[in-house]
């Protein structure tokens, strides 16, 4: 289900006595604003485990399923773990404008530059330098992982080469690098079905972002509370049920809730969204019954 974005205007935020737009996707959420649940806790635990113990995981989820929020949470919890344990964690996140054109040398350079190491021009020397740096970090009990956003866009050569990065060891029985990929389900359903990726398919652990079906209301309530509102004062129970019945991702839930709030503000001038005000996808448009007074 696609729900168009509808940011709350400053006038609407003031009208509903909110501190901010509760579903603003442009602003990085604070720790208190991040929603959590048992299912999301388990995803976070597995990703952190992959970083600490240098595993290879792919976190799969459709658009709007909360992957960005999960990356933020993982980074914060790793920082907290480092502070508690005294061991450093290095989450290397190569950023490129077009992930489909990323080349292996660029990733190698990114790793070295992350540690302020001069990048050798020679390919062989570059590989040796990476292993040298990672081995030194391993001796200091540092945990290092490569994290890619939009992992489903990586080209075949890079995907195959990630196996070589992941298989780097200290010469004994310890890997030097974890691999964490965030991306959309087609990576699993289409890309990895190709026979050339068989070795990778048998090694990567797929972690699916959970559906919000069981926690949709809790998500809405949490985000509204974080913005200074109260779900039961802003929405009637029927409106909440209808929104939760059609939206299965955090993004869709937020978009539908904001659309409802803006309709309530602009067309009804009422402080509470009722079911009759909702315009959900594929439903007939509700007539404007706003009083002319």
* Domains identified in the chain and CATH numbers: 10-27+214-277 (no CATH), 38-208 (3.40.50.300)
**CB-side neighbour CA atoms (13 Å) of 127:** 10
Note the maximum CA span of the chain. Answer: 80
Contact yes or no for 264/277 (Cβ under 8 A): yes
45-82 b/e (C-beta count within 10 Å ≥ 16 → b): eebbebbbebbbbbbbbeebbbbbbbbebbbebbeeee
Q: In terms of Cα–Cα distance, which of 121, 31, 26, 120 is closest to 73?
A: 31
| Element housing 187 (H / E) | helix 186-189
Location of structure tokens 């001038």:
269
- Phi and psi dihedrals of 102, rounded to 5? -65, 135
Per-residue pLDDT of the chain (293 residues; tens, 9 = 90+): 567 899 999 999 999 999 999 999 999 999 999 999 999 999 999 999 999 999 999 999 999 999 999 999 999 999 999 999 999 999 999 988 899 999 999 999 999 999 999 999 999 999 999 999 999 999 999 999 999 999 999 999 999 999 999 999 988 778 999 999 999 999 988 888 899 999 999 999 999 999 999 999 999 999 999 999 999 999 999 999 999 999 999 999 999 999 999 999 999 999 999 999 998 875 545 444 444 43
Find tokens 């699993």 and name the residue. 188
- How far is Cα 34 from Cα 24, in angstroms, rounded to an integer? 12
């Amino acid at each position: 289900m696609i729900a168009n974005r509808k940011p709350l205007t400053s006038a609407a935020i003031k009208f509903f006595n909110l501190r901010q737009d509760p579903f603003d996707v442009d602003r990085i959420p604070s720790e208190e604003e991040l929603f959590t649940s048992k299912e999301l806790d388990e995803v976070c635990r597995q990703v952190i485990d992959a970083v600490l113990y240098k595993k290879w995981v792919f976190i799969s989820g459709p658009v709007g399923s909360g992957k960005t929020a999960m990356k933020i949470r993982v980074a914060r919890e790793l920082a907290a773990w480092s502070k508690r344990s005294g061991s450093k964690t290095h989450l290397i996140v190569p950023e490129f404008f077009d992930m489909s054109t990323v080349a292996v040398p660029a990733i190698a350079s990114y790793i070295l530059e992350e540690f302020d190491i001069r990048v050798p021009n020679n390919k062989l020397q570059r590989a040796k330098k990476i292993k040298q740096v990672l081995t030194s970090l391993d001796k200091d009990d540092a945990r290092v992982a490569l994290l890619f956003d939009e992992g489903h866009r990586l080209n075949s050569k890079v995907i195959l080469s990630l196996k070589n990065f992941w298989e780097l060891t200290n010469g004994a029985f310890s890997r030097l690098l974890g691999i964490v990929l965030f991306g959309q389900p087609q990576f699993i359903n289409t890309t990895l079905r190709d026979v050339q990726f068989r070795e990778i398919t048998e090694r990567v652990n797929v972690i699916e972002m959970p559906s919000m079906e069981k926690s949709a209301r809790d998500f809405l309530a949490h985000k509204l509370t974080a913005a200074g509102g109260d779900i039961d004062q802003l929405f009637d129970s029927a409106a909440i049920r209808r929104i939760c019945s059609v939206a299965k991702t955090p993004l869709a839930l937020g978009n539908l809730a904001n659309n409802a709030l803006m309709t309530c503000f602009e067309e009804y001038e009422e402080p509470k969204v009722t079911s009759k005000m909702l315009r959900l996808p594929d439903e007939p448009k509700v007539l404007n019954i706003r009083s002319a007074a």
